[in-house]
Amino acid sequence: MGAGRLYAAVAAGGFRRYATYRAATAAGVFTNTVFGLILVHVHLALWAQKPQLGGYDQAQAVTYVWLGQAFLSTLAIGGGGIEDELMERIRTGDVAVDLYRPADLQLWWLAADLGRAFFQLLGRGVVPFAIGALFFPVRLPGEAAVWGAFLVAVVLAMVVSFAIRFLVALSAFWLLDGTGVLQLSWIAGFFCSGMLLPLNVFPGALGEVVRALPWSSLLQGPADVLLGEADPLGTYAFQAGWALVLLAAGRLVQSAATRRVVVQGG
């Protein structure tokens, strides 16, 4: 079996696996919609007071909120990706089995996580976004080309998101109990991706710093492509640059970590 087909099969498996939990998906859609509803009202009030805040008009701000809800589980910004399982396998030592497989550890989990992310985008992302677009003033592009450009940015966002979480998960090789690191990474993700508030609203130097960090590839980048506020090629270059740096770092840490693996017999 060719390597490409192997990883495609892993990704398809990831997609199908999450597709099994129908009730959980419906519950997630409901929760994302309720949170979107609350946040939209807050943003509407904020933009009513300060029109053109951060360069967005009110409709753009509303669109941004619903995009955030659609991406929350897709990009596993608050957890829920493959990192929990990978950490557990590292803690129990099962990761030794993964290392023994004729497949690359990083690519294997990337494929599984992409499958998961695509399912979450379709299963949990589309419905809250559609509800938001139906009942609130949004700004959506009419041209198919912009939607296409947006989708490319979303896929790149998925890769950057995975690269960050893979690094976080590998810390379990040293810490064993990775809950603390995981939660710190959620905080960074929430704050720096623009889930709290669009990054272009952040004041002064703080705003410049968060916009340069990898997390801004997750929500702010794709959102600005969809809203027509950013040049797609520049966004892709930023996202791909961070993806390469982080994946390379993951690879380095991985090779350092696998030398530490202690297989527990029994």
Q: Where are the alpha helices (DSSP H) in 50-143?
A: 58-74, 83-92, 95-100, 105-120, 126-135
Backbone torsion region of residue 86, taken as left when φ is above 0, otherwise alpha when ψ lies between -120 and 50, otherwise beta: alpha
Under rule CB under 8 A, residue 35 binds another protein = yes
Under rule CB under 8 A, residue 17 binds another protein = no
Restricting to residues 51-80, name those near another protein by CB under 8 A. 53
**Which is closer to another protein, CB of 3 or CB of 27?**
27
The answer to whether residues 53 and 47 touch, using CB atoms and an 8 Å cutoff, is: yes
**Which is closer to another protein, CB of 186 or CB of 236?**
186
**For residue 30, what are its two tokens?**
């409901």
**Which is closer to another protein, CB of 190 or CB of 236?**
190
Q: Provide, rounded to whole angstroms, the least separation between the CB of residue 173 and another protein.
A: 15
Q: Provide, rounded to whole angstroms, the least separation between the CB of residue 232 and another protein.
A: 28
Under rule CB under 8 A, residue 7 binds another protein = no
The per-residue b/e assignment along 42-54, b for 16 or more CB within 10 angstroms, e otherwise, is: ebbeebeeeeebb
The torsion angles phi and psi of 116, rounded to 5 degrees, stand at: -60, -45
- Chain centroid to Cα 240, Å, comes to 14
Q: What number of chain residues touch another protein (CB under 8 A)?
A: 38
Restricting to residues 149-178, name those near another protein by CB under 8 A. 175-177
**For residue 265, what are its two tokens?**
């017999």
**Which is closer to another protein, CB of 202 or CB of 238?**
202
Q: Summarize as ranges the residues that interact with another protein (CB under 8 A).
A: 21-24, 26-28, 30-31, 34-35, 37-38, 41-42, 44-46, 49-50, 53, 175-177, 179-181, 183-184, 186-187, 190-191, 196-197, 201-203
